[in-house]
Structure 1
Amino acid sequence: MMKTSITFYPNISKKSKKSGKIPLYARVCSKGSKAEERLNTEITENDLLKWDPMSMRFADRTIMANKLLNTFDKRFEEFVIMNSTSLPKFHPRNILDYVLGKEIKERKMEIGLLDYVNSYLTKSVLPNPELSPGTIRNYRKSVNHFKAFLLANGKEKTAVSEVNNVLAIDFKEYLQRIDITNGKKGMSEVSASSIIKNLKPIFNRAIDEGYIQQNPMKALKLRHKSPRRDRLTIGQVRALYNLNLKDIPTLRAYQDIFMFSVFTGLAYMDAISLKPSHLEARKEGFIKLIVRRAKTDIQTESFLVPQAIEIINRYKEVAENQITGLVLPKRSNEKLNQNLKSLAALAGIPFNLSSHIARHTHRQLLAEAGIEDMGVIKRMMGHSGSGDIDSVYYSVTESRLLEAKGKFERYLQEHL
């Protein structure tokens, strides 16, 4: 059995910039978990010189903090003795609350799950500058699914303390269940896994705060890797690119959006949101694409091949684009995927196309064009790198982007 212990210590990292005083902290450890809290007492730098980390007391007996620490120590020993046979059932947070004289167990039991989840989203996720807009959207989506589940199943009054594995399993089944009456589509196992993954930190926080003893979402076993997606061969790309749509002009915009993503690797949202300001014309006649991905806020950079430039030029004088200020015609993802089915049939492609297949195809074509530098590929596709690139390496990277553009252009000229 792991030992349950309490530690007192001056937290120098929390030293007040205004007064120069250092707060004392208490930490309880048990079962591999811990809970800590600032005590209502501070010491001076001179007092710190008298601190004995072994006894966790001050050598100077006149320092009043010693008396307070003695009281807390006695309450800790009292708790351990009273609960000697059931000690493993208590989270360190419960123990620390008792030591500090906090009678809040009942209040904690009454905290509603809906309120707790909402509070986590608004206080810990939305204002967090370290999270990308895409990550925040995913958290919000996961929380909304969980709230909808609670409301749909009459569990909106559930307390945080009542969360258990049964509720977690019910939530998983809710995500994957088809509800024809309400028009709800069931999620794939991979999609459900991503929703549940975003909820785990919320319940980890609940554990740290002593509301629950274990994270119910960790008990769920779901496949979290997507199956390998279809991607086009260069022959299929050629068939789609060369389609004669003279008799079906309404399909042209959908063909161009898809092909532009094939030639640039941009995701659907980034492609249809592209503005002229994201395109940097160079005196050599090159056009450099610089845009941050909506999903991850990672910057994408590449030099456009002639086929992509051709598509851009097609919409420069179109009234719709002059009004929207966008490079490409704006079409919903749903409409795009619907019309891609028609385009696939016309091009003799034996599977349904989707906007994401274009991005996967681009990555495949880069490999076939002999582009192997992973740093270049990450920059072209907006994948996260291992660190920031300073100005010394920027010129080198740009020359490599131009080299990659040359390889990709020659490959397309040879095969399209």
Structure 2
Amino acid sequence: MMRITVDGEMEQLNTKLTIDPKLWDVKAGRGIGRSAKVQELNSRLNDIQVILKDHYYDIQRRHGYVTVEQVRNAYMGITQREESLLKLYEQHLEDTKKLVGLSKADPTYKKYERMYRRVIEFMKKKYNITDIPLREIKLSFITDLEFFLRTEYKYSQNTTYKCMKFFKQVINKAIRAGLIYVDPFNGYKISTERVDRGFLTEDELEKMMSKNFASARLNQVRDIFIFACFTGLAYIDLAHLRVDNIQKMFDGRWWIVTHRQKTNTKVMVPL
């Protein structure tokens, strides 16, 4: 029998080799004597040991870590279809890009893309690997990724939450495709913090409205900002506003009729 041990985990396999117990050195794990049969046995055992070590170092080079199951499967010639994280992530980005202009906004896609780059950087710095099989992603990978975002990029609680939410979408895609069976996010918790964004008082708004800036450009910026305050439209919605969006409605008044880019919901604001 041969025993493979990696980080305290053990597997035993039958070598299909036999020897008289009287000719066996238990401590050395080799046959005793110089007979041709013993010499051949020891040579075969040496070959097995070399093969196992080769598998170990090959797995370590490719994945950055080794499990006893990986070594056993490699020795037995069991090859599993291993989908990698980045391969699936790239497919996810490609699918998301096709939805830009339909159900996704371009800024949202850029956030997905940025998180993809953060994951690549994280794996390189933390594990010194360029990719990882999906089935090897554990809870520790998730918590280490969160720690990386907080420490390397000083992300706030809410920014980190959004980034981890983007990453979870990729993991969910892998689960739905049957590429992984245990959700590595099980047991992981992160929540958003309530943020007081503040607001302008009526007096502050009046001061800004009556302020005459030194340049026409700043006056225009002021006008757009005030317009946003009264209409409730986001900057991106104002940037896309066109003459066609100003329409006379049933009450004979002019209204802004548009769609919010972020949610694609219809917005009607009386002027």
If the length of structure 1 is used for normalisation, what is the TM-score? 0.41
User: How well do the aligned residues superpose, as a CA RMSD in angstroms?
Assistant: 3.0
Provide, for residues 244-285 of structure 1, a one-character-per-residue CA deviation record: whole Å limited to 9, x for no partner: 32x354421221121010011000101122111111146976
Provide the residue aligned with 1:157 in structure 2: 131
Provide, for residues 355-409 of structure 1, a one-character-per-residue CA deviation record: whole Å limited to 9, x for no partner: xxxxxxxxxxxxxxxxxxxxxxxxxxxxxxxxxxxxxxxxxxxxxxxxxxxxxxx
Distance 2:208 2:252 in 1: 27
CA 1:130–1:241: 2 relative to 1, 3 Å: closer
What amino acid is the match of 1:266? L
Whether 1:122 aligns to 2:94 is: yes
Distance 1:250 1:292 in 2: 27
| 1:237 paired residue among 205, 211, 222 | 205
Distance 1:241 1:219 in 2: 51
Distance 2:188 2:224 in 1: 39
| 1:264 paired residue among 208, 212, 231 | 231
CA 1:285–1:241: 2 relative to 1, 3 Å: farther
Provide the residue aligned with 1:321 in structure 2: none
Question: Which ranges of structure 1 fall in alignment gaps of 5 or more residues?
Answer: 1-104, 179-184, 305-416
CA 1:293–1:121: 2 relative to 1, 3 Å: same
Contact 2:259 2:267 in 1 (8 A): yes
| 2:246 paired residue among 279, 290, 301 | 279
Identity value in percent: 22
Whether 1:298 aligns to 2:269 is: no
If the length of structure 2 is used for normalisation, what is the TM-score? 0.60
SS for the counterpart of 1:106 is: coil
CA 1:283–1:303: 2 relative to 1, 3 Å: same
Q: What are the equivalent positions in structure 2 for 1:8-407 lying under 5 Å apart?
A: 106-109=79-82, 111-123=83-95, 125-127=96-98, 132-134=103-105, 137-138=107-108, 141-151=111-121, 153-154=123-124, 155-178=129-152, 185-245=153-213, 247-281=214-248, 286-304=253-271
SS for the counterpart of 2:162 is: helix
Question: Which ranges of structure 2 fall in alignment gaps of 5 or more residues?
Answer: 1-77
What amino acid is the match of 1:148? R
Rg larger in 1 or in 2? 2
Provide the residue aligned with 2:17 in structure 1: none
TM superposition shift of 1:193: 0.8
Distance 1:283 1:119 in 2: 47
CA 1:121–1:265: 2 relative to 1, 3 Å: same
Distance 1:129 1:272 in 2: 18
CA 1:139–1:186: 2 relative to 1, 3 Å: same
Provide, for residues 193-243 of structure 1, a one-character-per-residue CA deviation record: whole Å limited to 9, x for no partner: 122123323212323444334323454432324412111121221121121
Aligned residues between the structures? 190
Contact 2:85 2:134 in 1 (8 A): yes
Contact 2:115 2:166 in 1 (8 A): no
